[in-house]
């Protein structure tokens, strides 16, 4: 419902006035302006009388119209995003919170590596000696005791006192009291408290009635068995002489040996016959020739033997400047299958006697080291230092040149 013109504001009335009443609107505005200026009643009456149409129009325009229908307009388009606002200042730090509750205990950790062994502790001090007192210590304690010791409490003391009293009343020996007896061993006293003497088996004691005891060995004189022989000079030799007494045998010089001179003579030290420092090395066997391995030592060699049955010296290789053998003329029958070494003279005579061949001295230096020589043609065979060689068996041939397996030391001939 539209508002009545009376209830409309001046702006609303202007907005609701149609275009064809624009002039009336202007007049109304003028009238309203005059009303605004609060004209007097008389003047208002005069205006209404003189201008009925304008006033009527203004009056009706002031009446409140009915309320119009409400129609909502369409939603406008979304405006553009505004600029980002400025970050505000950092706020003040809050107060410290309460302490949190203690967490649960964690799992047990793994066992660590074994530690290094510590140093040994210091040695403890020795304890007190808990061994029983010695006889001398017992005697010292008894002598220092303030109280008398009953003889019955000391084992054997009562008997010892009785024996002493018996000796005092019945002394031994010649006229007057008894004398102390000393027992000596090589001039040294055995003991000052001897109460008993026990002779070993094989000794017979005899008392002569004058205070002397003699000892006699059973079976005559000397020992039947030498069971105790001590306190002698170190490194000595003893033997029994013709009288049956044990005596020392003087040692011989270094390297000598103890020699028996028969059952009726004393032994002696002597120098071995053919003495020397020869000693074997290893395990030599029959027919091996001894070879020196050092000063005083020999050993056998399997590559060097001598058969005494056939008088044959056998070895793998003989190296010598000159080897002399018996000269023997060539014999086609006797030399067949003979493996002995011919002389150079015999070989040369045979070569020179050959017909249809040429004996040539190859070009090259003969000095035991050079093995390459030049020939005029391919040789049928080659003789070097008395040994015959063939191509592929002692030498090789190629392009008028021969190369020997063993360099000649005396001469070389090529049979062309």
Distance, in Å, from the CA atom of 384 to the CA atom of 405, rounded to the nearest integer, reads 11
- Sign for the CA dihedral angle at 102, 103, 104, 105 comes to negative
Q: Which of 97-101, 144-148, 370-374 is most confident?
A: 370-374
Indicate the pLDDT class of residue 176, thresholds 50, 70 and 90.
very low
* Last residue within a domain, chosen from 275, 292, 327: 275
> Same domain, yes or no, for 243 and 284?
no
Question: Is 349 inside any structural domain?
Answer: yes
Averaged pLDDT for residues 247-263: 89
> Same domain, yes or no, for 369 and 394?
yes
pLDDT for residue 376: 94
Averaged pLDDT for residues 194-217: 72
Question: Is 141 inside any structural domain?
Answer: no
* Last residue within a domain, chosen from 275, 302, 334: 275
pLDDT for residue 224: 55
* Last residue within a domain, chosen from 25, 42, 62: 62
Among residues 306, 279, 284, the alpha carbon closest in space to that of 294 is found at: 279
Which residues 6+ apart lie within 8 Å of 68 measured at CB?
1, 2
3-class SS of residue 368:
coil
Question: Is 49 inside any structural domain?
Answer: yes
pLDDT for residue 268: 93
3-state helix, strand, coil in the chain (%, to 5): 20, 20, 60
Average pLDDT over the chain reads 75
Q: What percent of the chain has pLDDT over 70?
A: 66
> Same domain, yes or no, for 210 and 269?
yes
What domain range is 307 assigned to?
279-315
pLDDT for residue 269: 92
> Same domain, yes or no, for 269 and 287?
no
Question: Is 92 inside any structural domain?
Answer: no
> Same domain, yes or no, for 411 and 354?
yes
Among residues 313, 385, 403, 386, the alpha carbon closest in space to that of 394 is found at: 403
| Lowest-confidence region among 103-107, 217-221, 372-376, 410-414 | 217-221
20 or 159, higher pLDDT:
159
Main-chain phi, psi angles of 266, to 5 degrees: -70, 145
Q: Which of 189-198, 292-301, 392-401 is most confident?
A: 392-401
Question: Is 153 inside any structural domain?
Answer: no
> Same domain, yes or no, for 269 and 212?
yes
Question: 258-303, pLDDT tens digit by residue?
Answer: 999 998 899 999 988 765 667 777 888 888 888 888 877 888 888 8
CB 48 within 8 A of CB 41: no
Averaged pLDDT for residues 341-350: 77
Counted domains in the chain = 4
pLDDT for residue 163: 73
pLDDT for residue 396: 95
């Amino acid at each position: 419902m539209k508002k009545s013109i009376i209830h409309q504001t001046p702006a609303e009335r202007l907005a609701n006035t149609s275009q064809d009443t624009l002039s009336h609107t202007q007049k109304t505005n003028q009238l309203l302006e005059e009303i605004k200026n609060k004209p007097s009643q008389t003047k208002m009456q005069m205006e209404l009388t003189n201008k009925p149409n304008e006033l009527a129009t203004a009056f009706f325009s002031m009446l409140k119209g009915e309320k119009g229908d409400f129609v909502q307009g369409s939603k406008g388009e979304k405006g553009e995003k505004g600029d980002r606002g400025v970050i505000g200042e950092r706020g003040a730090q809050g107060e410290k919170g309460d302490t949190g509750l203690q967490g649960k205990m964690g799992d047990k950790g793994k066992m660590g590596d074994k530690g290094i062994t510590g140093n040994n502790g210091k040695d403890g001090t020795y304890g007190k000696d808990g061994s029983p007192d010695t006889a001398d210590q017992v005697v010292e304690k008894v002598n220092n005791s303030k109280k008398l010791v009953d003889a019955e409490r000391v084992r054997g003391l009562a008997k010892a006192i009785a024996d002493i009293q018996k000796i005092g009343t019945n002394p031994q020996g010649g006229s007057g009291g008894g004398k102390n007896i000393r027992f000596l061993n090589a001039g040294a006293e055995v003991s000052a408290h001897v109460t008993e003497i026990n002779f070993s088996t094989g000794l017979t004691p005899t008392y002569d009635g004058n205070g002397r005891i003699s000892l006699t060995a059973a079976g005559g004189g000397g020992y039947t068995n030498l069971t105790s022989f001590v306190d002698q000079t170190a490194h000595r030799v003893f033997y029994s002489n013709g009288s049956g007494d044990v005596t020392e045998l003087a040692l011989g010089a270094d390297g000598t040996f103890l020699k028996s001179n028969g059952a009726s003579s004393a032994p002696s030290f002597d120098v071995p016959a053919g003495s020397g420092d020869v000693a074997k090395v290893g395990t030599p066997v029959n027919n091996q020739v001894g070879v020196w391995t050092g000063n005083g030592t020999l050993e056998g060699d399997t590559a060097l033997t001598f058969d005494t049955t056939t008088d044959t010296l056998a070895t793998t290789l003989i190296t010598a400047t000159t080897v002399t053998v018996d000269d023997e003329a060539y014999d086609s029958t006797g030399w067949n299958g003979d493996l002995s070494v011919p002389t150079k003279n015999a070989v040369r005579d045979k070569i020179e006697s050959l017909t249809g061949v040429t004996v040539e001295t190859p070009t090259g230096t003969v000095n035991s080291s050079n093995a390459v020589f030049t020939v005029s043609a391919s040789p049928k065979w080659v003789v070097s230092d008395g040994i015959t060689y063939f191509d592929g068996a002692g030498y090789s041939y190629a392009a008028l040149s021969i190369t020997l397996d063993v360099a000649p030391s005396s001469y070389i001939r090529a049979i062309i």
